[in-house]
């Protein structure tokens, strides 16, 4: 069955770079993409970035200058990098399956909590 699992460092110091990995199983990244979504404690959902089956990418307008998304299809992994971290970036980060056809966001990972703190 389709599964996604996020992994990351837990705590990151301000101004440093965050690296998160989404490892997928049950499908190929050649056929479906991945979106990243975050949720600060007690707040709503915010879409961050996506990489689709053809390898094209898209980013949140406000965060775009700080983000990079890539993939390793042989490892079934999607990597998200965010630089210049601030305390406002403290959040739960989720990855979800995405798709051009409109049938996306049907499967989500459990999320990984990232705290920005010195």
Partner 1 sequence: DTVMTQSPASMSTSVGERVTVNCKASQSVGRVVAWFQQKPGQSPKRLIYLATNRHTGVPDRFTGSGSGRDFTLTISNVEAEDLAVYYCLYYGSIPYTFGAGTKLELK
Contact residues: partner 1, CB under 8 A: 35, 37, 44-47, 50, 58-61, 94, 96, 98, 102-106, 108-111
- If the CB atoms of residues 19 and 46 are measured against partner 1, the closer one turns out to be 46
With respect to partner 1, which residue has the nearer C-beta, 14 or 103?
Answer: 103
> Parallel, antiparallel, or unpaired: how do β-strands 3-7 and 18-25 relate?
antiparallel
| Min CB(116)–partner 1 separation in Å | 21
Tokens of 41: 């404690």
When the beta carbons of 41 and 118 are compared against partner 1, the nearer one is 41
d(CA 106, CA 17): 29
Q: Give the nearest distance from C-beta 60 to partner 1 in angstroms.
A: 5
Count of beta carbons in the 10 Å neighbourhood of residue 78: 27
Shortest approach of partner 1 to residue 118 CB, angstroms?
27
């Amino acid at each position: 069955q389709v599964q996604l699992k996020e992994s990351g460092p837990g705590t990151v110091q301000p101004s440093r770079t965050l690296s998160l990995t989404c490892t997928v199983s049950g499908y190929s990244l050649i056929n479906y993409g991945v979106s990243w979504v975050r949720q600060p404690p007690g707040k709503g959902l915010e879409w961050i970035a996506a990489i689709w089956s053809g390898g094209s990418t898209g980013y949140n307008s406000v965060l775009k200058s700080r983000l990079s998304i890539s993939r390793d299809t042989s490892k079934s992994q999607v990597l998200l990098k965010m630089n210049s971290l601030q305390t406002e970036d403290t959040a739960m980060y989720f990855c979800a399956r995405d798709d051009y056809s409109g049938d996306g966001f049907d499967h989500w990972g459990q999320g990984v909590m990232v705290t920005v703190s010195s």
